[in-house]
Amino acid sequence: MEGQGKTLLAAGHATHYHESGAGKPLFLLHGSGPGVSGWSNWAKSMPAFEDSWRVIVPDIAGFGFTPYQEGLKYDIKLWVNHIVAVMDALDIQKASFIGNSFGGAVAIGLAIFAPDRVEKLVLLGTPAGEFLQTPGLRGAYTYEPSLENMRSLMELFPYDPALITDQLVQSRYQASARPGAQEGLRKLLPAPAEQGDTIVKGFPATALTKIVAPTLVVHGREDRVVPPSCGLLIANSVPNADLHLFGRCGHWVQSEQSTRFVSLVRHFLSE
DSSP bridge partners of 121: 97, 215
- To the query of whether residue 82 is one of the catalytic residues in this protein, the response is no
- How far is C-alpha 169 from the geometric centre of its chain's CA atoms? 19
Residue type, 104: G
Length of the chain: 271
Burial string for 103-123 (b: 16+ CB within 10 Å, else e) reads bbbbbbbbbbbeeebbbbbbb
Residue 55 CB contacts under 8 Å (≥ 6 apart), including other chains: 19, 20, 21, 26, 28, 46, 49
- To the query of whether residue 13 is one of the catalytic residues in this protein, the response is no
DSSP secondary structure of 96-164: EEEEETHHHHHHHHHHHH-GGGEEEEEEES---SEEEPPHHHHHHHH--S-HHHHHHHHTTSSSSGGG-
Question: Which contiguous run of DSSP H or E holds residue 201?
Answer: strand 199-201
Question: Which contiguous run of DSSP H or E holds residue 84?
Answer: helix 76-89
- To the query of whether residue 223 is one of the catalytic residues in this protein, the response is yes
Q: Exactly one of 96, 101, 176, 237 is catalytic; name it.
A: 101
Question: Which contiguous run of DSSP H or E holds residue 14?
Answer: strand 13-20
Quote the radius of gyration of the chain (alpha carbons, Å). Answer: 17
Q: Exactly one of 13, 16, 223, 255 is catalytic; name it.
A: 223
Q: Exactly one of 18, 237, 251, 255 is catalytic; name it.
A: 251
CA distances in angstroms from 10 to 2, 40, 93, 140, 193, listed in the order given: 19, 21, 15, 27, 34
Q: Identify the CA nearest to 88 among candidates 112, 58, 65.
A: 58
Q: Which residue numbers are catalytic?
A: 101, 223, 251
